[in-house]
């Protein structure tokens, strides 16, 4: 995937891409950034943890390609699967960030290291390292099937994951949508109303 495509996807953001996609590609709204203002764009590397066990993450850190986003299915179980130690390990291997359907901890340390994390929850409770479900194989979170190489775009609005086969189409559609909205903003700034621009005149009182 080209750097230009990544950059455009990040500029468009999760909401625009979701609306333009026509796909069920948004993760649960409760998977949120650990602090405001984070942006994460990259190719997905999926894995699935057993509840309360982060062994899959340790294995994935040896296998995931540089610049990929670890997308972790922990079945929504909120525990401290990830913290500062794994953040340092991930940054040393040029991992772009983390999307976790589970929990993390060491929030201040991750923010200090500028590592983008999107997670369902925060917990001081640690995890064991005894078994794992899968590493690098397709997983399911919310309504999304997530495979290696899918496009992850996460920001303050949420997380979307675009399947590989749809990336170029969705980014192009997102750009067209953004251009149309920019034109609408210009017209609003010049005094037009949303009622007029959206053809809602019949609802005027």
Predicted confidence (pLDDT) per residue in 41-92, tens digit: 999 999 999 999 999 999 999 999 999 999 999 999 999 999 999 999 999 9
* H or E element that contains 180: helix 167-189
pTM here is 0.94
Fold for 3-171, please state it.
Glucose Oxidase; domain 1 (3.50.30)
8-52 pLDDT, tens digit per residue, is 999 999 999 999 999 999 999 999 999 999 999 999 999 999 999
Angle at the Cα of 162 (from 156 to 163), degrees rounded to 5? 160
Cα–Cα distance for residue pair 97/113, rounded to 1 Å: 11
Domain ranges for the chain: 3-171
Q: Say if CB 49 and CB 133 are below 8 A apart.
A: yes
For the chain, where are the E strands, in sequence order?
32-33, 40-49, 68-73, 97-104, 117-122, 132-135, 139-141, 144-146, 151-155, 158-162
């Amino acid at each position: 995937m080209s750097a230009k495509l990544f950059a455009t996807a990040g500029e468009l953001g999760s909401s625009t891409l979701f609306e333009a996609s026509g796909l069920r590609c948004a993760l649960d709204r409760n998977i949120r950034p650990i602090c405001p203002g984070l942006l994460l764009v990259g190719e997905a590397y999926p894995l699935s943890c057993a509840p309360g066990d982060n062994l899959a993450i340790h294995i994935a850190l040896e296998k995931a390609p540089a610049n990929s986003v670890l997308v972790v299915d922990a079945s929504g179980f909120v525990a401290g699967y990830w913290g500062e130690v794994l953040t340092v390990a991930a940054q040393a291997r040029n991992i772009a960030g983390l999307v976790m359907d589970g929990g993390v901890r060491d929030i201040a340390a991750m923010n200090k290291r500028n590592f983008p994390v999107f997670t369902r929850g925060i917990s001081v409770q640690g995890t064991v390292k005894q078994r794992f479900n899968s590493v690098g194989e397709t997983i399911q979170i919310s309504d999304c099937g997530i495979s290696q190489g899918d496009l992850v775009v996460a920001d303050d609005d949420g997380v979307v994951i675009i399947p590989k086969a749809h990336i170029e189409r969705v980014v192009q559609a997102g750009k067209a949508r953004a251009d149309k909205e920019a034109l609408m903003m210009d017209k609003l700034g010049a005094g037009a109303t949303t009622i007029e621009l959206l053809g809602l005149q019949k609802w005027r009182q």
